[in-house]
Amino acid sequence: MTSVRDRARGCLLGLAAGDALGAPAENLAPEEIAARWGVLTEIERGGTDDTEYTIFAATVLLRHGHALTSEDVARAWREEIVARLDGPMRGAGFSELGTVEALRRGLRPPLTGRWHAHGWSDGLAMRAAPYGIFAAGDPDEAARLAETDGRVSHTGEGIFGGRAVAAAVAVAMTGASPAEVAAAALRAVPEDSWTARSLRAALDVAARTPRPLLGRTLHDAVVMAHYPWTDLAPEAVALAFAAYTAGGGEVEASVVIAANLGRDADTTAAVAGALAGAGRGEAAVPARWAERIGPVAGRCLPVVAGRDVRDVADEIVKGM
């Protein structure tokens, strides 16, 4: 039987592997990825802010547990992110940059997530997995904790994306099937939200489309044509869940499919990897990938430099 610790480690290793594999494909279309790599299957370099923000979120969560408040999260941002910036914030997404500026102006949540114009981004979805691990088997609590975090940096669809991922990870941690995991994500968001509509459309495409046609068919179904930015939460979450279900919940298949879909590929592959890793455990993460996942560099968040996702997963389990 796969232990909670194994699933927690699988979740965060899968996330880090997806982040690293998807990084060079970020902002590309499936056709561009195919022309450059054929199929992108090997990690070329380290991950991005997705892994670092996941570690940061886990660290703050473990200080407060189920009593976590949005003000706790905002305080951590002020003291451990904003106060340590001595130049540009490298590698951060629009929502994170906007939140830093909002905090510098003295705003408090939920205004910090509403003040900037990027509350719809996938920045919460990318860091929501620790809430699902911590509340394993309780998707409602996982979604609540993710939303508590998200009020600092997001609003509306951005929060819904985080809720969907956290709830899904909580169910995946029980060894549930990909269909059950996806159903938990849908239950965690309003039925008529953009996130829910995109999720349903993507899951339908994944269920009926042969893999060679999946990328373009998914783009036609959920990607906003001609929109210049790729970090839309409804889009990224939908692509990630489609990859996870199309991959049958297997870590390597789910992550490779997600990375080769392009768009915000580091985030979509990270989310797909977190879901699959939680469901299958640490041993299901390909050894050749796991060997390349070491302590993070702290390029975006110096406060987490030197932390390893394996250790973070163990800490979450101990704190449950």
- Binding-site residue numbers for Mg(2+) are 48-50, 264, 266-267
- Selection from 64, 160, 145, 133 nearest residue 275 by Cα: 133
Annotated binding residues? 48-50, 264, 266-267
Other beta carbons less than 10 A from residue 108's beta carbon? 15
Sign of CA dihedral 252, 269, 289, 173: negative
